[in-house]
Amino acid sequence: MNKPLILVSNDDGITSKGIRTLVEVMKELGEVIVVAPDSPQSGMGHAITIGNTLRLEENNIFDDVVAYQCSGTPADCVKLAKHFVLKDRKPDLVVSGINHGSNTSISVLYSGTMSAAIEGAIEGMPSIGFSLCDFSADADFSHVKAYVKSIAKNVLEKGVPKGIALNVNFPPKRNENIKGVKVCRQARAKWQEQFDQRYDPNGRRYFWMAGNFVNHDKGEDNDEWAIANNYVSIVPCLFDLTAHHAISTLNDDWNLTV
């Protein structure tokens, strides 16, 4: 009963290698409850299910951990965990991941992994999203376990400012050890999309999104630089998207009378 209560979710689905790694580490720190999607939900952003039913079923995929699979999005999973699974119990920590692939820079807006963490922050719970910058199905997570444990332990013991979720990205496993951790900002970078126009066997047109990630940021204090230079990046993220510095500009410069 004295152990911290840790809620684990993700966007790659309850059977992913990344969430299994995360559960293993979190078991060393507290009591773990898993509520995760029953299928991959990558790129869902902060979507929630409002026009369809939500299904929640117990899953014994983790031997000694209570786990549920949910038909909804990562944000749905955290909401259902708080309001139904845990009821009167509030998690001491919400962790999401470990994602198969990068969630640096602008990807934080599209990320289902980070939406679970940000949903936790909205509900007033310390939250972390973990991602490994390796999209391969057989990605090696072994080199990040100690960092996952250290970061989570720091959050449990020292907390994070209210309303903030940490976006943590790990470099892929390389020949050299990770150099350390950088607390940094989100890089000014974006996806430059291209759309392949194709046709199915019935002659109906469809599109396949492709493109390249373009980094316009030359700074050395951002998450893209940290990953490229073999550091772990930690970006504190707010769910308040208000551009506070623009309020006075709009009030002073615009004529809003009608």
Which residues, other chains included, contact 119 with Cβ-Cβ below 8 Å and sequence gap of 6+? 46, 74, 75, 78, 79, 94, 127
12 known ligand binder: yes
Is residue 80 within 8 A of residue 86, CB to CB? The reply is no
Was 252 annotated as part of a binding site?
A: no
The answer to the question of whether 99 is labelled as a binding residue is yes
The answer to whether the annotation marks 11 as part of a ligand binding site is: yes
d(CA 223, CA 229): 10
Q: Is the peptide bond before 247 cis (omega within 30 degrees of 0)?
A: no
Residue 130, SS3 per DSSP: strand
142 in helix, strand or coil?
A: helix
Measured distance CA(129)–CA(9) in Å, rounded = 9
Residues annotated in a binding site for a divalent metal cation: 11-12, 42, 99
Q: Binding-site residues, please?
A: 11-12, 42, 99
